[in-house]
Amino acid sequence: MAHYPDPLERLVTELKKLPGIGQRTAERLAFFLLNQPEEAVRALSEALVELKTKIRLCAECFNFAEGERCPICLDPKRDRSIICVVSNPQELWKIEKTGGYHGLYHVLGGLLSPVNDVGPEDLRVQELLRRLERGDVKEVILALDPTVEGEHTAMYLARRIRALGRDLKLTRIAQGVPIGRDLETADELTLSRALEGRVTVE
């Protein structure tokens, strides 16, 4: 059996590492790229490299940023009295796309998971508490997955936030997000309803 030339084989191998890309799709993409003009392929490869060299985490909320702070934290029109806590940047962008939220965010960087050995020190919990101690924030919305890990994390954060002893409104997004599905796959309408109908954590 004949083999692909090495560069083609290498590209197929790399493409197969992407989510949802199997052997056939990887081959189709590789042959497609092979037929593109050199500038087009170069633009794609530069975009891939820039993704890792130019993007870093916002010093305030840990969203992706090109500079010290992300566009959301830099935007003077955002309501600085509300912080919405999410587990990762994808979920932040999902909420942004609903267009119904105008406060700030805090990206935890995961969820507490004793099974996978993820403890509070692995997440940006201290950073969140420090932001809340500065005093401009009036409400914290916990927008975490309606899963066991999401619930566990929300309860833990609620306890830590309460312990600050500040007069903060603590809310959770309403259970309009179907149980067992993550926020990432929830549709925008469901998510914006869940945000509007948020409930106070007792």
Residues that bind Zn ion (CB under 5 A): 58, 60-61, 63, 70, 73
Encode 51-78 in three state secondary structure: HHHCCEECCCCCCEECCCCCHHHHCCCC
Q: What region, left, alpha or beta, does residue 147 occupy, with left being phi > 0 and alpha being psi -120 to 50 degrees?
A: beta
Least separation, in Å, of the C-beta of 15 and Zn ion?
32
Residue with smaller CB distance to Zn ion, 45 or 90: 90
Buried residues in 131-169 as b, exposed as e (16+ CB within 10 A): bbeeeebebbbbbbbbbebbbebbebbbeebeeeeeebe
Max Cα distance, the chain (Å): 71
Residue with smaller CB distance to Zn ion, 11 or 101: 101
> Would strands 103-107 and 139-142 be described as parallel, antiparallel, or unpaired?
unpaired
Least separation, in Å, of the C-beta of 59 and Zn ion?
8
Residue with smaller CB distance to Zn ion, 136 or 187: 136
Residue with smaller CB distance to Zn ion, 127 or 151: 127
Least separation, in Å, of the C-beta of 72 and Zn ion?
5
Residue with smaller CB distance to Zn ion, 58 or 141: 58
Least separation, in Å, of the C-beta of 137 and Zn ion?
14
Least separation, in Å, of the C-beta of 133 and Zn ion?
18
Rounded to whole angstroms, how far apart are CA atoms 183 and 198? 14
CB burial of residue 39 (10 Å; 0-12, 13-18, 19+): exposed
Q: Which residue has the tokens 């990762």?
A: 88
Residue with smaller CB distance to Zn ion, 131 or 193: 131
Least separation, in Å, of the C-beta of 85 and Zn ion?
13
Asked if residue 58 lies in contact with residue 73, where contact means CB atoms within 8 angstroms, the answer is yes
